[in-house]
Amino acid sequence: MHTAALFVACAALAHTFWTGLDGRHAALAFGVLVAVGELSRWTGAAVREAAPLGTAAALSYALLGDGAGGAGQVVAVVAAASLLGCVPHIAQGRSPVRDHLARRVLTVAFAALCFQSLSRQGVFRQWHGPGHVLLVLAVLALTALCDAVLAAALAHARSGWPFGPRLREELRALPGIGSAVGATGAVMALAVTVVGLWALPVFSLPLLLTHLSFQRYAAVRSTYRQTIASLARATEIAGYTPAGHAHRVAALSRAVGRDLGLTWAELTVLEYAALMHDIGQLSLVDPVPAGATAGLPAAEQRRIALLGGAVVRQTGVDAAVAVVVERQADPCPEQPVAARIVRAVNAYEEMARDAGPGGPLRALEELRLGTAGDYAPEVVEALARVLSRDCLATAPAG
């Protein structure tokens, strides 16, 4: 896909260089807007990578029609401006810049080709008023679908995650800021044809405010997660659990949840619950040896889980996290999916931690033997896939 994007960008740049720019003022204005949008792009653990202003400007230029000078020029201007705006990100080693650029080039090429093809055939001259708007919306919907497929394919190639769950995750994210970006791009393109390039700063302002709001939201979520991570370390500092245990369980639980196709919100709850799954041990008078609760009697596991849920509720964390912590020791058929994942991953980590080189395989086999009642078969198989795919089958250091 990177090769295809590079070929498309080079071909567009060569064609534009050979034929020259049409509508230079428009090309410069949209190019600057795309570059500024890329400069302000951010990536955070709490939110998806986002460059709403750059995306809206690129889509708007693709939907400009005759004023954009053809699909080749659209791709050339967007590719050059995006690359220019990504220079600081590349210099700082932020990733995945190549994936982002490939998606931007291929998505804009798709949108420009669709729109230009319809424009050349005179479809937009025949469809006036609501019909014209519906056609633009249809192009935007197809472009959004194309971008979701590209994003899922790139994530699958980079991390090995199954394509289906990743595509579902991308499609679920579209009604959020994606719809605002698409609508802004369409409105900007229509407004430029009526009032000229002054429409760009006017219609960029609401998206910039949205961008700032998302950045504040990302900062709050990041602080929130750091608070939860600090609470999770309380059991390690007190000597109830080995160092790094909660973070290893959280990372592996999130990987299993993604393999099973959980949504972004469900993955967040799962990660927080996995970080705090052992916090109930702080209420024990006598610590469990090595913090290994998987081998305790079922009644004792439930008591510790309920104590943990009570502690989580007192911290003010989302009640859904407390429910997962409370129910991690319930009978498997009665557990929510997140609790099943935390239970299986915690047991695997405890079994594999100090068992030597062959420990992970033996731990996985023990989990498979326990699928008759203790562990959900689909969770254990997802765990096996994650371990095989990500080469995590070597036991982490305790």
pLDDT tens readout for residues 372-382: 678 888 988 88
* HSE-up of residue 306 (Cα within 13 Å, Cβ side): 7
371 is written with which tokens? 């699928």
Residue 47 has pLDDT above 50, yes or no: no
160-198 per-position pLDDT tens digit:
667 777 787 777 777 766 777 877 888 888 788 777 788
Sign, Cα dihedral of 91, 1, 50, 47:
negative
Domain boundary among 221, 253, 276: 221
Q: Looking at residue 42, what is its pLDDT? A: 64
CA 350, 365, 357, 296: dihedral to nearest 10 degrees? 20
Residues 239 and 168 in one domain: no
pLDDT of residue 253: 92
Q: Which of 172, 188, 221 is the last residue of a domain?
A: 221
And the tokens for 139?
């192009």
Closest CA to 279 of 296, 243, 304: 304
Does 398 map to a domain? Answer: no
pLDDT tier at 252, thresholds 50, 70, 90: very high
| Higher per-residue pLDDT: 388 or 132 | 388
Cα–Cα dist 254/266, whole Å:
9
Cβ(5)–Cβ(49) below 8 Å: no
**101 and 52 fall within a common domain:** yes
Residue 397 in any domain: the answer is no
In a domain, 88, yes or no: yes
Whole-angstrom distance, CA of residue 192 vs CA of residue 213: 26
Whether residues 272 and 237 fall in one domain: yes
pLDDT tens readout for residues 317-359: 888 888 888 888 888 888 889 999 999 898 888 888 766 666 7
Query: Are 11 and 155 members of one domain?
Result: yes
Which pLDDT does position 45 carry in this prediction?
44
Distances in Å between the Cα of 40 and the Cα atoms of 107, 182, 185 are: 20, 18, 17
- Residue 263, pLDDT > 70, answer yes
Cα end-to-end span (Å), the chain: 40
Q: Are residues 257 and 320 in the same domain?
A: yes
Q: What is the mean pLDDT of residues 207-223?
A: 75
Which pLDDT value is given to residue 395?
38
Residue ranges making up the domain that contains 214? 2-221
Residue 334 lies in a domain: yes
Q: At 92, phi and psi to the nearest 5?
A: -90, 5
CA distances from 201 to 33, 51, 301 (A): 9, 16, 59
Q: 158 and 262 share a domain?
A: no
**Residue 351 and residue 292 share a domain:** yes
pLDDT at 48 over 80: no
Mean pLDDT of the chain: 79
Q: How far apart are CA 100 and CA 86, in angstroms?
A: 9
CA dist 296 and 137 (Å) reads 58
C-alpha 311/C-alpha 306 separation (Å) is 9
How high is the pLDDT of residue 237? 83
Are both 21 and 101 inside the same structural domain? Answer: yes
Structure tokens at 327: 């129910």
Q: Which of 39-43, 85-89, 290-294, 303-307 has the highest mean pLDDT?
A: 303-307
CB atoms closer than 10 angstroms to residue 307: 18
- pLDDT bin (cut points 50, 70, 90) of residue 396 is very low
Distance of alpha carbon 171 from the chain centroid: 11
Q: Are residues 352 and 386 in the same domain?
A: yes
Does residue 134 or residue 103 have the better pLDDT?
103
How far is it, in rounded angstroms, from Cα 215 to Cα 41? 10
More confident residue, 73 or 119: 73
Average pLDDT score over residue span 229-233:
80
What's this model's pTM, rounded to 2 decimal places?
0.68
Q: What is the mean pLDDT of the segment spanning 232-258?
A: 85
Rounded CA-CA distance 209/204 in Å is: 9
User: Please, are residues 49 and 43 in contact by the beta-carbon 8 Å criterion?
Assistant: yes
Last-in-domain residue among 191, 221, 251:
221
Considering only CA atoms, which of 13, 354, 2, 59 is closest in space to residue 207? 59
Q: What angle do CA 331, 337, 340 make, to 5 degrees?
A: 45
Number of C-beta neighbours around residue 70 at 10 A: 17
